[in-house]
Amino acid sequence: MILQHLITFCRVVETGGFSRAGELVGLSQPAVTRQVAALEADLGTPLLDRTSRQFRLTPAGELVYERARRMAASVSELREAVADLVDHDRGRVTVGAVTTVGVGILPPILAEFARQYPAVRVMVKAGRTAETLERVLQGEIDVAITPTPVAHPRLKSIPLCSDPVVLVCSPVFRAKLQDPLPLEQLGQVPMISFQAPSRFRTFVDAILEQHGIYPNVTMEFDSHEAVSLMVEQGFGVAMVPRSAVAGDLASGRLVQVSVAGLQSIARTTSLLVKRESDARQPAAENLQRMILAHFGVTEK
């Protein structure tokens, strides 16, 4: 069985005629007829019912068409994947990002990448840390940005930058607090928090517990954006990554609160890729280099 015969048969079915199918595959009508006849001879059964002016698919023809259509699509995808692999100026790259850090980091990098490689298709998949790690391991993501380094034998984690965790509140609420805020009072003020259980909440709670502080959590949300919004409305304070509230701090919607005696808290934003990268597309390699260059990091 010749693959081209299957493709030609699909075009005959889709166009409803041998002549129009020939135009699509670059063959004459007699050549198309011979290919379909050869396919029927190979399978040992008619695929088209020609008893009427408008041919119809036989039951065997319906089965062959569905299977052949999928095979033709797979071949097309294969050709495209190979072309993407060898051509540095085209291809496809999928970026994973933990939402809390991806929103603040990726936009300027992806904008520059699109300018330099306009033919590369970029897909972004945001999610939580565990979900992002699994996608990298399964090969669904080429490059990922995570809020913390990751230790895994099949993954390479490259530190990019330090992302401080800061205490913030609204300017009106700040006027009610001492400056700096005494450490012991941190457990008394209403705290708007990222929901538990989560890596960020566990990380922050563990640091505060080391100082004997148990936050008075009055609200919990599943995004830093929601936390920041409620803090902006004056419902309390929040411990958040600076990257998540950089715009709010710059605009004055939120202000940072100093806490006397509280150690500096920070996470290390990291780049994550699979170690076995022999089959990685040039597009993914180019994006990885651009991310590292953006942060002035040299891969070791």
Q: Within this chain, do residues 145 and 285 fall inside the same structural domain, yes or no?
A: yes
Q: Which two tokens stand for residue 8?
A: 């030609």
153-181 pLDDT, tens digit per residue, is 999 999 999 999 999 999 999 999 999 99
> Two tokens at 122?
């970029």
* Residue 81, both tokens: 């994947």
The pLDDT tens digits of the residues spanning 137-149 come to: 998 999 999 998 8
Same domain, 61 and 147: no
What per-residue confidence (pLDDT) applies to 87?
A: 66
Q: Is the pLDDT of residue 90 over 80?
A: no
Would 300 be classed as within a structural domain?
A: no
What total of structural domains would you count in the chain?
Answer: 3
The three-point CA angle 255-227-100 to 5° equals: 95
Q: Rounded CA gap, 84 and 52, in Å?
A: 45
Residue 7 has pLDDT above 60, yes or no: yes
Do 79 and 10 have their domain in common? Answer: yes
224 - beta bridge partners? none
Residue 280 has pLDDT above 70, yes or no: no
pLDDT tens string 184-196:
999 999 999 998 8
Q: Which of 232, 239, 290 has the alpha carbon at shortest distance from 267?
A: 239
Q: If you average pLDDT over every residue of the chain, what do you get?
A: 90
CATH code, 81: 1.10.10.10
CATH of the domain at 140: 3.40.190.10
Domain span including residue 26: 3-86
Say whether both 123 and 238 belong to one domain. Answer: no
Does one domain contain both 39 and 74? yes
Domain identity same for 154 and 205 = no
Say whether both 98 and 114 belong to one domain.
yes
Element (H, E) at 80: helix 59-86
Secondary structure percentages of the chain, helix, strand, coil, to 5: 50, 25, 30
Q: Rounded to 10 degrees, what is the CA torsion of 19, 20, 25, 26?
A: 60
Q: How far apart are CA 228 and CA 13, in angstroms?
A: 57
Distances 43 to 36, 47, 63, 259 between C-alpha atoms, Å: 11, 9, 12, 79
